[in-house]
Chain A
Amino acid sequence: MTNQSWETLSNQAVAAAGIVYFLSLLSYLVQWASLRKVPVGRKATVSVGVGGLQAAGLDTSPVAGDGSTTTNARRVEMTGRLGLILLGLACALHFVALLGRGMAADPNRVPWGNMYEFTLSGTFVVALIFVVARRRLGLDWAGPIVAAVVVTLLMVGVIWLYEPVAPLTEALNSYWLVIHVVSAVISTGGFTLGGLCSILYLVKERKGPTTSGYLSRVPEPVVLDRTAYRLHAFAFPVWTFAVLITGPIWAHQAWSSYWNWDPKEVWAFITWVVYAAYLHARATAGWRGRNAAYLALLGMATLWFNFIGINYFSTTSQHSYASGAPALTSAAPAHR
């Protein structure tokens, strides 16, 4: 296959994946709507309060035996399963899109050389984590959210960030591209999932206990709070590795100085500090629940502002993917 046809394949696969993600979302939404009528079948909780996510997972067993409930329950089960299958299919298409992106470049390379490709890779990681870890972590309730987030981000990527396949700028041409960006993607995904848990926590805490509808399928606030903490605790060391270890090493090689106070670096540091404060406040000040959730959301805001916003606010950033390279440093990375 020629580079051109790989690129076409990638674009078509993105479109197809987007459509299938959307169908998956629709299916999940039908399930969501049907769930309004089904009260949650409560499982007996273990005496010492363990079991966490599993216990609060999606339980679709019909409660009463009358006809309409059985039909409804069957619909719930079918739409849920269909949503999952579609999500898996979309994820496979998504992978084809990434593969095509990498194969279309000359020379072949990892598909995260610009913002569009980074978005493509990041959303793929989110979908993949969900598909793989769904059963183990009892994440069934998160299906509609994952489908919605992924399809939205894909649309943002295709509409605003799209760039044709192009060779890497010189400074990106390094194996640190794999290490640095992969760790950044993983931690960004982790923080985002943690942030989603915090949002759900806040919503659920405000609404109070419910017995039917989607929110009742979401784990208890205490479990959400703990899941959010665990996701953040996982993502924070990875972020530290990406931003404060591999980033400076690469910056030193490419830009001659391991810390340049480049706007992207400054904001990555700000994000690091906010999440450090979050973990610290939880560990020593015993901040749980609402205050911790707000701090986590502040961290997520700085994270996403750094990813998207700073490229438009500041043109001095050496990380800027926007065109219009500062000419004096044209041999240096102008396009990141």
Chain B
Amino acid sequence: MSQTKLPEAHADAPEPERRTGELTLRELGRWTWRQLTSMRTALVLLLLLALVAIPGSVIPQSGVDSLKTSRWQSDHPKLTPIYEKLQLFSVYDSPWFAAIYILLMVSLVGCIIPRTLLYWRAMRAAPPAAPRNLDRLPVHTSYDATDPPAEVLARARVLLRKRRYRVLDGSDQGWVAAERGYLREAGNLLFHLAVVLVLVGFAMGGLFGYKGGVILVVGNGFTNGLTQYDDFDPGSLFDPSSMEPFSFKVDQFDVQWIDSGPRQGMARGFNAHLQYRESPDAPQQTYDLRVNHPLKIGNTEVFLIGHGYAPVITIRDGDGDIAYSGPTVFLPEDAGFRSFGVVPAYDAKPTPIGLQGWFFPTYISVDGNPMNLMGDLKNPAISMEAYVGDLGNDDGSPQSIYELDTSKAAKVTKADGSMFRVDLSPGQSVKLPNGAGSVTFEGVERWTRLQISRTPGMHLALGGMVAALVGLLLSLFIRPRRVWVRADGHTVQVAGLDRSTAGDVGAEVEEVVKGLRQLNEPGPPGPGEKEPA
């Protein structure tokens, strides 16, 4: 970031009628630009970006975990409106967060352009001439030479070139100047440019990409299209017509349950066998969709991110007609897959019937209370409450398929008024009291939750990050240094200047001196010979 202070262009032409501190619009703009692109501002913006990222890691984010966010919101009714105003539930999408990183990006660009020009000139420049008094430099040494100065300097040129220095010959004035490490600045620029690329790639993913989720009961298919998704989160510039016309079907879903050991009850080995077509007239292909192994179709990717159970339940109404039948997705509530779901039969006669309650993959009864042992299907059972009456599907308000509006319905009780529950194992049926109908638990199917997303700019971001790393390595480990050799009469002076942070040019100067002196000697030092002190 530019440290150079440009001379104030207007300093010598003050307009008499202006008061102190008054700036024209142009000057104000120039002042703002210079402030924004100063190194200090960039550093402050960088630290600010880290600081404002903190709330998002402490407060639940609706974009990360919407369920937890809504729970938190209902637990904190007083804070929620304030937080919502400050957009603390979606920190990383909020305008103020965007403002900081856009400012940072502008600041970076503002740094890079002038610095590239400076670097271009510096890269082509010759090393600066030797200072008059080399002994004023922090690292310097001298020795007495027997050879004539011209010979020493010629040797120094060869030696320094061999050590990959750019050499400027000033032998007529008795010195040689050398500089190396020009790539450090290039690495520095590459790093900053690459960071901008990463930000651009990241923004592209957010603007033009999308992600959507769909829960598919095994055996069901999916055709890529807006209406097929359960939830869909497009970028603001996303174009639905660009969606790829693939389709797939979940043929089978395998999962292994661990029966013993410390992770007893944990599931692993998830494998969803997919049949898919890249387009309606493409040949059918198969793919084993596993965690860590997404399916890539064109630029879209399909991920396996969840699974659960869908009990197959049939509801017959008071007339004995089937009012509802089929697998119903129940959402797991814990790691043991105790799952909650609702089964609405809106078309039942005379009144709609609704069930809400629990599914247990491995049901046991402890002191008469239903408990779930583990996620594997060892002893599946449902335990649900039944409601009859107005289930609120007529007023047209949108309803979640995982909730039942029971506010206007009546809970079904036994004839004597005691509690009634639909507690069934697969294959069993129960009649609802008062001739309202019957419920049959036919069996259990599985569902998989798939995430389908397209992230343009991902490879740009990755490439940018790799380039940033390369630039970082160059800028951290290339040591730009200058070495000067001066030979007057019989004294040879060598001095070095380290222009990087971890300055330790002393060893380098020693090496140069050693090289000069070794060349100075008639032959290589013998085995027993000691190095000159």
Contact = CB atoms under 8 A, between A and B. Distances in A.
Interface string A268-279: 011001101101
Nearest to B477: A233
Nearest to A171: B291
Interface in B451-483: 451, 453, 455, 458, 461-462, 465-466, 468-469, 472-473, 475-477
Contacts of A1: none
A261 B92 contact: yes
B64 A261 contact: yes
Interface in A247-290: 248-249, 252-263, 266-267, 269-270, 273-274, 276-277, 279-285
B58 interface: yes
Nearest to A238: B469
Nearest to B470: A237
Interface in B358-381: 375
Given A167-B258, A328-B306, A237 B473 contact: yes
A327 B92 contact: no
B57 A332 contact: no
Q: How large is the interface on A (under 10, 10 to 19, 20 to 34, 35 or more residues)?
A: 35 or more
A324 interface: yes
B458 to A, nearest CB: 6
A260 B269 CA distance: 24
Nearest to B264: A166
A47 B139 CA distance: 9
Interface residues of B, number: 82
B46 A171 contact: no
A328 B215 CA distance: 11
A333 interface: yes
Contact of A256 (B211, B333, B448): B211
Interface in A299-335: 310, 313-316, 323-334
Interface of B is mostly: mixed
Contacts of B64: 260-262, 316
Nearest to A315: B68
A333 B500 CA distance: 44
B305 A332 contact: yes
Contacts of B477: 233
A281 B292 contact: no
A170 B462 CA distance: 25
Nearest to A47: B141
Nearest to A264: B57
29 contacts: A48-B510, A49-B139, A50-B510, A52-B504, A164-B261, A164-B262, A166-B266, A169-B266, A170-B291, A233-B477, A240-B465, A256-B305, A261-B61, A261-B91, A261-B92, A270-B50, A273-B47, A277-B46, A279-B476, A281-B43, A324-B334, A324-B335, A327-B333, A328-B308, A329-B449, A330-B332, A331-B307, A331-B449, A332-B306
Q: Nearest 8 pairs between A and B by C-beta?
A: A48-B506, A327-B332, A50-B506, A256-B303, A263-B57, A273-B50, A164-B262, A166-B263
Interface of B: 1, 3, 39-40, 43, 46-47, 49-50, 53-54, 56-58, 60-61, 63-65, 67-68, 91-92, 139-141, 202, 211, 255, 258, 261-263, 266-270, 291-294, 301, 303-308, 331-335, 337, 339, 375, 448-449, 451, 453, 455, 458, 461-462, 465-466, 468-469, 472-473, 475-477, 500-502, 504, 506-507, 509-510
Given A50-B510, A257-B455, A269-B53, 7 more contacts: A164-B261, A255-B303, A257-B453, A270-B53, A323-B335, A325-B334, A330-B375
